[in-house]
Amino acid sequence: MAVTEFKAKCLSLLNDVAARGTTITITKRGRPLATVKPVRNTTWKSPEGAWAGKVILSGDLLDTDTSELWEVVRRDSGARG
């Protein structure tokens, strides 16, 4: 299809590409210039369960004593003040 024809019918042609899944090759002076084709619709995947079977959690994460991890922070903040 010549570029001038594509320009004149652009919106209609794009609707046809979307509806029918056809591909249009646009030419300029008989040479291929561009190809218009429908975009592949990729389905959106929910992140829920993405780590299922890949990560193992050991112990109780909510009832873990992490107070020793914060001793360094307490010592450093006392030295600055």
Q: Which residue reads 């992140």 in tokens? A: 47
Domains and CATH numbers, the chain: 1-39 (3.40.1620)
Model confidence, pTM: 0.48
* Euclidean distance between CA atoms 17 and 62, whole angstroms: 54
Strand partners, 27: 2, 32
63-76 pLDDT, tens digit each: 777 777 777 666 66
Tokens of 25: 């090759």
**How big is the CA angle at 50 (ends 44 and 51), to the nearest 5 degrees?**
170
**How big is the CA angle at 77 (ends 76 and 80), to the nearest 5 degrees?**
90
31-78 pLDDT, tens digit each: 999 999 998 877 777 788 888 888 887 777 777 777 777 776 666 666
